[in-house]
């Protein structure tokens, strides 16, 4: 049956460009990634519903409910015809006809046009509408992630890790509160963001397989199946065919947490991408100039040539992802066994995926175009380079018993360093010690001792990198 599912999905994919289909997806029409349209395009939705109805009939045949003579009528040609000729637009039109007023009843009416009469009695047998809809949502999400998202996530991962390795040893000023902090490397900067990204990508891979389907009837008790179908494994067999987990307990709808967890993790991945975009646009600003990425000029200021449009778009798209996720967060409650309040909202859940996928594609553009200006990084670091070892000095003095060493360094020694054009931090400490007894000769000896001292950092503050380089190299090998 796995091959049958693969074949059916291939058919649905190939039909996406046929029959003048409306492949508009939820969200802004400006952001409609082509690779997603065969899976999330509007007129494709009917196909996902048809697949669930079709494979349920296959289950009925397999467990002996459907006679063999009827089962022989379930041919690939018949499925292809329905997938080709039934679209969501046609389903909508049928729903508006007098006496229907129900999306799944409209679908069933369209399917009966093509199904042999002998199969009519088995269509939607012992099913309720959300057996079909919830299971179709879960199948659509899982397949879309596996077929479309994963390949792009792997490509982005490879690009990202290449940039980390390429810049693992490129000196860069670390910043906290946008102020110069301690030295890092450009590779280390990229490594932190990549680690967040790759962890979310791995989690998404797991969560995409945990969104359950259900086929337990009108209130979740499988009452009609227990009364009319003696085999108790129909739901499990169907989900095995579709490679979906079964909801352990359900009402008319599947528990919402599985889908909510997937989309929640997609929001977290979006956040890591947004952070990369935000950092890139800051480091690409005139004030920093350390990074170059895909850019545009200005419509008004012809001197400008590096507006970081891709990085900005990647940062801003996170807001769209969060806004769409609010629909999921606000529809976790259903009255008693189910109501219809949220069915219209669920139809556009996939906008989260559309915006997040657009963000992934933009991230690839940013990383492909990204160049680190090592010379500018060094120049920016040197502006306050002598000062970054202040932490090391105050901790050394603190360990040696100097009272309130942080205040001493901050208020007394730093001004000496800043006033000196050529002097190093160790020169400032020496100057201070000549007139103040807190720093003893023994402390100075320890500070400058070749074996136990910190003089190498004080004279060459760019070496005060800790594990930055090794962390970058390690993350460059942290493959998705």
Give the contacts of 93 (CB within 8 A, at least 6 positions apart): none
List, in sequence order, the alpha helices (H) in 167-233: 186-207, 223-228
Which of 39-43, 167-171, 430-434 shows the lowest per-residue confidence on average (mean pLDDT)?
430-434
298 or 245, higher pLDDT: 245
Residue 164 has pLDDT above 80, yes or no: yes
| Tens of pLDDT, residues 317-376 | 999 999 999 999 999 999 998 888 999 999 999 999 999 999 999 999 999 999 999 999
Q: How many residues are present in the chain? A: 480
How far, in Å, CA of 283 to CA of 366, rounded?
A: 13
Q: Which two tokens stand for residue 129?
A: 């509408």
299 or 420, higher pLDDT: 420
How far, in Å, CA of 247 to CA of 211, rounded?
A: 8
Tell me if 376 sits within 8 A of 290, measured CB to CB.
yes
Confidence of residue 473 (pLDDT cuts 50, 70, 90): very high
How far, in Å, CA of 140 to CA of 155, rounded?
A: 22
Cα maximum dimension of the chain: 105
Residue 300 has pLDDT above 70, yes or no: no
| pLDDT at residue number 297 | 46
List, in sequence order, the alpha helices (H) in 284-350: 309-329, 343-346
For range 44-72, the mean pLDDT: 97
| Nearest CA-CA partner of 349 in 262, 276, 416, 433 | 262
Q: Report the DSSP pairing between strands 179-185 and 291-292.
A: unpaired
User: 307-346 burial, b for 16+ CB within 10 Å, e for fewer?
Assistant: bbbbbbbbbebbebbbebbebbeebeebeeebeeebbeeb
How far, in Å, CA of 272 to CA of 200, rounded?
A: 9
| Nearest CA-CA partner of 25 in 192, 238, 16 | 16
How far, in Å, CA of 30 to CA of 28, rounded?
A: 5
For range 404-430, the mean pLDDT: 91
Q: Which two tokens stand for residue 258?
A: 């599985």
Mean pLDDT of the chain: 94
Confidence of residue 96 (pLDDT cuts 50, 70, 90): very high
306 or 423, higher pLDDT: 423
Tell me if 420 sits within 8 A of 385, measured CB to CB.
no
How far, in Å, CA of 235 to CA of 240, rounded?
A: 9
Q: Which two tokens stand for residue 29?
A: 């029409």
Confidence of residue 448 (pLDDT cuts 50, 70, 90): confident
How far, in Å, CA of 96 to CA of 85, rounded?
A: 18
Tell me if 187 sits within 8 A of 169, measured CB to CB.
yes
List, in sequence order, the alpha helices (H) in 176-308: 186-207, 223-228, 234-242, 257-283
119 or 286, higher pLDDT: 119
| pLDDT at residue number 302 | 42
68 or 437, higher pLDDT: 68
Which of 199-213, 270-284, 442-456 shows the lowest per-residue confidence on average (mean pLDDT)?
442-456
DSSP bridge partners of 179? 176
- Element containing residue 21 per DSSP (H, E): none
| pLDDT at residue number 305 | 57
| pLDDT at residue number 175 | 96
Q: Which two tokens stand for residue 77?
A: 């040609």
| Tens of pLDDT, residues 203-240 | 999 999 999 999 999 999 999 999 999 889 999 999 99
- CATH class of residue range 130-372: mainly alpha
Residue 272 has pLDDT above 50, yes or no: yes
| pLDDT at residue number 249 | 96
| pLDDT at residue number 17 | 83
Q: Report the DSSP pairing between strands 291-292 and 371-372.
A: antiparallel
pTM for the complete prediction? 0.94
Instruction: Kindly list the domain boundaries of the chain, sorted by start residue.
Output: 2-125, 130-372, 381-469
How far, in Å, CA of 467 to CA of 246, rounded?
A: 46
| Nearest CA-CA partner of 22 in 6, 3, 42 | 42
For range 277-296, the mean pLDDT: 90
Q: Which two tokens stand for residue 203?
A: 């989690």
DSSP bridge partners of 175? 180
| Nearest CA-CA partner of 444 in 407, 397, 404 | 397
């Amino acid at each position: 049956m796995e091959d049958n599912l693969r074949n059916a999905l291939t058919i649905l994919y190939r039909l996406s460009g046929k029959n003048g289909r409306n492949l508009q997806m939820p969200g802004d029409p400006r952001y409609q990634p082509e690779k997603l349209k065969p899976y999330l395009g509007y007129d494709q939705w009917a196909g996902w519903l048809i697949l669930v109805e079709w494979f349920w009939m296959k289950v009925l045949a397999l467990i002996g409910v459907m006679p063999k003579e009827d089962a022989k009528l379930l041919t690939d040609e018949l499925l292809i015809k329905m997938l080709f000729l039934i679209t969501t637009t046609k389903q909508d039109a049928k729903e508006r006809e007098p006496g229907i007023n129900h999306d799944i009843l409209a679908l069933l009416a369209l399917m009966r046009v093509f199904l042999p009469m002998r199969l009519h009695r088995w269509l939607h047998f012992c099913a309720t509408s959300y057996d079909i809809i919830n299971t179709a949502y879960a199948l659509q999400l899982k397949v879309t992630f596996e077929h479309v998202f994963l390949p792009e996530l792997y490509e982005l991962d490879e690009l990202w890790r290449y940039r980390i390795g390429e810049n693992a040893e490129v000196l860069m000023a670390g910043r906290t509160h946008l102020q110069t902090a301690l030295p890092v490397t450009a590779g280390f900067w990229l490594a932190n963001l990549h680690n967040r990204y790759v962890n979310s990508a791995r989690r998404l891979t797991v969560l995409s397989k945990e969104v359950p389907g259900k086929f337990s009837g009108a209130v979740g008790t499988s009452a009609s199946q227990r009364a009319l179908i003696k085999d108790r494994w129909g739901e499990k067999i169907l989900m095995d065919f579709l490679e979906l987990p079964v909801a352990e307990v359900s009402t008319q709808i599947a528990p919402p947490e599985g889908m909510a967890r997937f989309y929640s993790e997609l929001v977290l991945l979006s956040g890591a991408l947004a952070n990369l975009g935000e950092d890139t646009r800051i480091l690409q600003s005139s004030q920093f100039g350390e990074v170059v990425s895909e850019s545009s000029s200005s419509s008004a200021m012809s001197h400008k040539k590096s507006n970081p449009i891709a990085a900005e778009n990647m940062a801003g798209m996170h807001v769209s992802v969060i806004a769409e996720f609010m629909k999921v967060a606000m529809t976790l409650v259903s009255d008693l066994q189910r109501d219809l309040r949220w069915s219209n909202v669920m139809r556009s859940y996939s906008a989260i995926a559309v915006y997040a996928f657009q963000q992934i594609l933009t991230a690839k553009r940013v990383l492909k175009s990204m160049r680190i200006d090592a010379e500018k990084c060094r120049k920016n670091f040197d502006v306050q380079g002598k000062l970054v070892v202040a932490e090391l000095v105050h901790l050394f003095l603190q360990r040696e018993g100097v009272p309130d060493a942080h205040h001493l360094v901050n208020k007394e020694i730093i001004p000496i360093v800043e006033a000196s054009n050529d002097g190093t931090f160790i020169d400032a400490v020496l100057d201070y010690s000549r007139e103040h007894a807190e720093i003893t000769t023994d402390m100075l000896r320890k500070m400058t001792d070749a074996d136990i001292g910190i003089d190498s950092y004080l004279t060459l503050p760019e070496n005060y990198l800790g594990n930055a380089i090794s962390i970058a190299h390690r993350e460059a090998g942290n493959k998705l």
